[in-house]
Structure 1
Amino acid sequence: MTSNRLRPLLIPSLAAVLALAGCTSDDARAAVTPPPAPAADVAKVCAALHRELPETVAGRDRIDPEPASDLTAAWGGAAIVLRCGVPRPAKMDDPMALGAEWDGVGWMAEELRSGGVRFTSTYREAYVEVVVAQGVATEVGVLDPIVAAVKKTVPPTV
């Protein structure tokens, strides 16, 4: 993903990746390692995103992880975990990386060994990573409320 345009992705391919994500019903507080301290301007964007994030995603309540941070959020325990201000993933240099656009926000999708899926925003002032546990992401709309918050608070770079 080195060009300024997202490669088109067939929605069935993304849906297949999402369907591979399995399920978790654990509503315990997730232990999440915040990303390394981002630059001040990125931290400010992440704080704005944190305030705008929804209370519920895919029917799961927001239970922010420990340690508390404006850089992290979670829903349903570790079912859906967000980290803002992560470093640019090396996978974005891979021309075969799966990319899609959701309501004006670009995302790279990576299937994880755990069976879950990691989504990382592209072409935004801060990289936002959302890990969806196995079985949680059974439909494309699972990220809709998060995408809306990213679109509102994390400005595009292009």
Structure 2
Amino acid sequence: MSFLRHRLLGPPAAFAALIITTGCSSSDDSATAAVPSPDTAVAKLCRNLDRALPQKVDGLSRHDPRPASELTAGWGSPVIILRCGVPRPAAMNDPDADGAEVDGVGWLLQKQGDGSFRFTTTLRTAYVEVTLPESRTGHGVAPLVSLAPAIKKAIPEGIAD
């Protein structure tokens, strides 16, 4: 996969956009997340990840989205959402895609139209997606640092698909 030449968060502008603090916070007690539907082997890895996930990410308490599932998790409000067993993003085929390695876990970085960021693991046997709402981007990749030990423990290195 040629994407994995890992431009460390791309040009400085991409990193600057990631660390911009918006200063707003809204209550989102009804966060929802689409539950992925991976094959049996990946679902097992995701269940192992769910058991390994920390109770706090970047100082935020775990607050899982609805519907309840071992394939999804969340922290804080607005919620940082993790989904395990997602399909491979098409952007991984783009040799110019932005990526980063955070504490031994490779990530594809995608800025969304609403100002949030979506990170998807690379070179792991299951794809794990983490979405940071725009108001949570002020701490850069700190949430990924919190999640890296659990991902390394539960999702082996390798190629998914």
Using a 3 Å threshold, how does the CA distance of structure 1 residues 9 and 63 change in structure 2: closer, same or farther? Answer: same
CA distance in 1, matches of 2:32, 2:9: 34
CA distance in 2, matches of 1:69, 1:10: 31
- 1:133 alignment counterpart: 133
Using a 3 Å threshold, how does the CA distance of structure 1 residues 84 and 70 change in structure 2: closer, same or farther? Answer: same
What secondary structure sits across from 1:107 in the alignment? Answer: strand
Using a 3 Å threshold, how does the CA distance of structure 1 residues 4 and 143 change in structure 2: closer, same or farther? Answer: closer
* 5+ residue gaps, structure 2: none
CA distance in 2, matches of 1:29, 1:50: 20
Paired residues of 2:3 and 2:93 also in contact (CA < 8 A): no
Paired residues of 1:111 and 1:117 also in contact (CA < 8 A): yes
Using a 3 Å threshold, how does the CA distance of structure 1 residues 128 and 86 change in structure 2: closer, same or farther? Answer: same
Using a 3 Å threshold, how does the CA distance of structure 1 residues 41 and 6 change in structure 2: closer, same or farther? Answer: farther
Q: Which moved more, 1:106-115 or 1:73-82?
A: 73-82
Residue 20 of structure 1 deviates from its aligned partner by 4.3
Deviations 1:23-47 (A, max 9, x none): 5342514111111x21111001000
Same amino acid, percent of matched pairs: 46
Using a 3 Å threshold, how does the CA distance of structure 1 residues 135 and 4 change in structure 2: closer, same or farther? Answer: closer
Deviations 1:83-136 (A, max 9, x none): 000000001111111011111110000001110100000010100000000021
Paired residues of 1:80 and 1:133 also in contact (CA < 8 A): yes
Is residue 144 of structure 2 the alignment partner of residue 143 of structure 1? yes
- Which residue identity does 1:153 align to in structure 2? A
Aligned residues: 156
Paired residues of 1:20 and 1:115 also in contact (CA < 8 A): no
What secondary structure sits across from 1:135 in the alignment? Answer: helix
- 1:155 alignment counterpart: 156
Using a 3 Å threshold, how does the CA distance of structure 1 residues 69 and 91 change in structure 2: closer, same or farther? Answer: same
Using a 3 Å threshold, how does the CA distance of structure 1 residues 128 and 73 change in structure 2: closer, same or farther? Answer: same
Using a 3 Å threshold, how does the CA distance of structure 1 residues 114 and 10 change in structure 2: closer, same or farther? Answer: closer
Using a 3 Å threshold, how does the CA distance of structure 1 residues 91 and 10 change in structure 2: closer, same or farther? Answer: closer
Structure 1 runs (4+) greater than 4 angstroms displaced? 10-14, 20-23
- Which residue identity does 1:115 align to in structure 2? G
Paired residues of 1:26 and 1:77 also in contact (CA < 8 A): yes
Residue 14 of structure 1 deviates from its aligned partner by 5.3
CA distance in 1, matches of 2:54, 2:28: 16
Using a 3 Å threshold, how does the CA distance of structure 1 residues 82 and 21 change in structure 2: closer, same or farther? Answer: farther
CA distance in 2, matches of 1:47, 1:26: 28
